[in-house]
Chains A and B, each alone.
Chain A
Amino acid sequence: MSIIVNHVNYIYEEDTAMAHPALIDINLQIPEGQFIGLIGHTGSGKSTLIQHLNGLIKPTSGEIFYNNQDINEPGYNKKVLRSQVGLVFQYPEHQLFETDCFKDVCFGPKNMGLPKKEVELRAYTALKQVGFEDEYFYQSPFDLSGGQKRRVAIAGVLAMKPEVLILDEPTAGLDPKGREDILRLISDLHAKMRITVILVSHSMEDVADYVDRIIVMNKGRVAFDAPPKEVFAHYRELEEMELAAPQVTYCMQDLAAAGFDVDTSVTTLEEAKKEILKAFGKC
């Protein structure tokens, strides 16, 4: 169970004067169960890439394989693919349309043609998984707060029981607490349900604490593809791509430059705290 992206190119508005490449020779392997951060500056092609993964966009050239099958082969069932590779778009709350939250979450599983009981069971489980309170189940989604709406929208995709969950900037426009809640929720889902998660973001800070692997996109190409520690070691190059390493990285680099004996490869706040205490203890 994995996704393989093989030499994928994508050109926007092909055959017009506005044609420009959005993806250039992308090669990726995404094995089952990984938690991946996909990072890139605005316009780096990350949103375009994830829409390829569930067949919403067809590559100009190259192939995408899901479970060893080419998804753009004629006759491949894209509807099934889309239920297995769940994609939560940016600002997913803008796609809510039903009269109450529960019905809205039912939309995905209903489209899969499941029996009514199964649909409702899945909707219930999904809403529970995202920590949605029972009392709001039958409220109009439009009366909820931004963070709650987003939970409902994520539940709408989760209810299809995807094997791969892709989230495009799930924290955009939320307050700090909302961000943390959503990120923790996603991390929990990954841990409990053992699904592959691809988290798209332009903020290193968001992903550094959670992911096993970071893919950095720059101008339509994959710039780095490595575990967080290795990627952040290239913090100078990241800056040139208008990205930044987490503040922890800068702090540790500066401390090391000032002569303290600290490990500069730490990425999380907790690790950094230990390193600093250790360094000062020795002083």
Chain B
Amino acid sequence: MLRDITLGQYYRADSVIHRLDPRVKIVATFAFIISLFIVKNFIGYLIAGLFLAVCIRLSQVPPRFIFRGMKTIFFLLIITMVFNLFLTAGEPIFTFWKFQITKEGIKLAAMMGIRLVFLITGSSLMTLTTTPNNLTDGLESLLGPLKKVRVPVHEISMMMSIALRFIPILMEETDKIMKAQMARGADFESGSIINRAKNLVPLLVPLFISAFRRANDLAMAMEARCYRGGEGRTKMKPLIYKKRDFIAYLVIVLYLVLIVVMGRILFR
């Protein structure tokens, strides 16, 4: 029952996008998000949409996986669009009681909608094509310069990858403890909210205990292998830029230039 929830939503495939260095993908995603906020006209969104469509095509991820992420933001999307539609001042087109829809409102609502959809699609594409471990590796490397100002970048990324690694384990554990308590007559599905919260105690206590036990064991195992933080630590699979990564960077730069130039040309 609980296994249905997936957090790391990596889709296994062997595409150009999958093979790209995670740093490229993180930078590209950021560039893409920034470009969405620079753009102020529909031509710009058309370019962004095309860029995204090509990337999705190249990634070999079936579109339904990408749009699955849309479900979670559906309400946010609707609320944003409705607010923009009704609360933007301007030239009224349609008036109903106290509400009025303006020309500017329609335009803004459409833009906001497209912006949100592209934003989620773009970032889903990154998480779908990059394993969680690669993602944290990439982040660690990109945030590397922050070490100079004493930000414990390695430790943070290590914690992130451990946390990600433990999600499925804890899921399984929850499922097991839940069943064990159900075998003793526990009820997790009915009753008032307060009762339900109370009924969670027999689930949460063993779960916390097992999480602490696992954390302890892992710490011991790391200690036994002489782990002592990131200083001087080498990687089994170091991130090395290849030719395709430079090409990808070039594509991103070209894309940004195109977006900015198009905006300038049309709004001079």
- Chain A residues in the interface with B (C-beta under 8 A): 13, 51, 54, 56, 79, 82-83, 86-89, 92, 94-97, 107-108, 111-112, 142, 156-157, 160
A86 pairs with B183, CB closer than 8 A: yes
Taking a contact as CB atoms under 8 Å apart, the answer to whether B177 and A94 are in contact is yes
Given contacts A89-B176, A95-B177, contact A157 B206 (CB under 8 A): no
Q: Which residues of B contact A89 (CB under 8 A)?
A: 176, 179-180, 183
Of B176, B182, B184, B209, the contact of A160 (CB 8 Å cutoff): B184
* Interface residues in chain B, defined as those with a beta carbon under 8 Å from any beta carbon in chain A: 3, 176-177, 179-187, 201-202, 205-206, 209-210
**Contacts A56-B179, A82-B182 given: A107-B202 contact, CB under 8 Å?**
yes
Interchain CB contact under 8 A, B183 and A54: yes
In contact, A92 and B185 (Cβ under 8 angstroms): no
For B199, give the chain A residue with the smallest CB separation: A111
A97 and B184 alpha carbons, distance in the complex (Å): 13
A111 touches B184 (CB 8 A): yes
B interface secondary structure, majority: helix
Inter-chain contact A95/B185, CB cutoff 8 Å: no
Residue of B nearest to A88 (CB): B183
Shortest 5 CB-CB distances between A and B: which pairs?
Answer: A111-B185, A97-B205, A95-B180, A108-B184, A87-B183
B181 contact set on A, CB distance < 8 A: 95, 107
Partner of B210, one of A54, A94, A160: A94
CA distance A82 to B182 in the complex (A): 8
Determine the distance from Cα of A160 to Cα of B180 in the docked complex, in whole angstroms: 14
Q: Which residues of A contact B182 (CB under 8 A)?
A: 56, 82
A contact face: mostly helix, strand, loop, or mixed: helix
Minimum CB distance partner of A83 in chain B: B185
B97 to chain A, nearest CB (A): 47
CB closest residue in chain B, given A142: B209
The CA-CA distance from A258 to B185 in the complex, in Å, is: 56
A96 touches B206 (CB 8 A): yes
Contacts of A157 in B (CB 8 A): 183-184
The answer for the CA separation of A38 and B163 in the assembled complex, in Å, is 37
Residues B187 and A92 in contact, CB atoms below 8 Å apart: no
| A88–B3 alpha-carbon span in the complex (Å) | 22
Residues of B within 8 A of A92 (CB): 180
Residues of A within 8 A of B186 (CB): 107, 111
User: Which residue on chain B has the smallest CB distance to residue A96?
Assistant: B206
A97 surroundings in chain B (CB, below 8 A): 201-202, 205-206
Write 15 A-B pairs (CB below 8 A) sorted by A numbering: A13-B3, A56-B183, A79-B185, A82-B184, A87-B183, A89-B176, A89-B179, A89-B180, A92-B180, A94-B176, A107-B186, A108-B184, A111-B184, A111-B185, A157-B184
From residue B259, how far is it (CB to closest CB) to chain A in Å? 38
Q: Which residue of A lies closest to B201 (CB)?
A: A97
Nearest chain A CB to B188 CB, angstrom units: 12
Closest A residue to B181 by beta carbon equals A95
Determine the chain B residues whose CB is within 8 A of the CB of A87 once the complex forms. 180, 183
What chain A residues lie within 8 Å of B180 (beta carbons)?
A: 87, 89, 92, 94-95
Apart from the given pairs A82-B185, A94-B209, 15 other A-B contacts in the complex at a CB distance below 8 Å: A13-B3, A56-B183, A82-B182, A86-B183, A88-B183, A89-B176, A89-B180, A92-B180, A94-B176, A94-B206, A95-B181, A95-B202, A107-B184, A111-B185, A112-B185
A95→B187 contact, CB < 8 A: no
Q: Which of A95, A96, A156, A160 lies at the interface centre, i.e. has the most chain B CB atoms within 10 A of its CB?
A: A95
B131 to chain A, nearest CB (A): 18
Closest to B176 in A: A89
Q: Is the CB of A156 within 8 A of B184?
A: yes
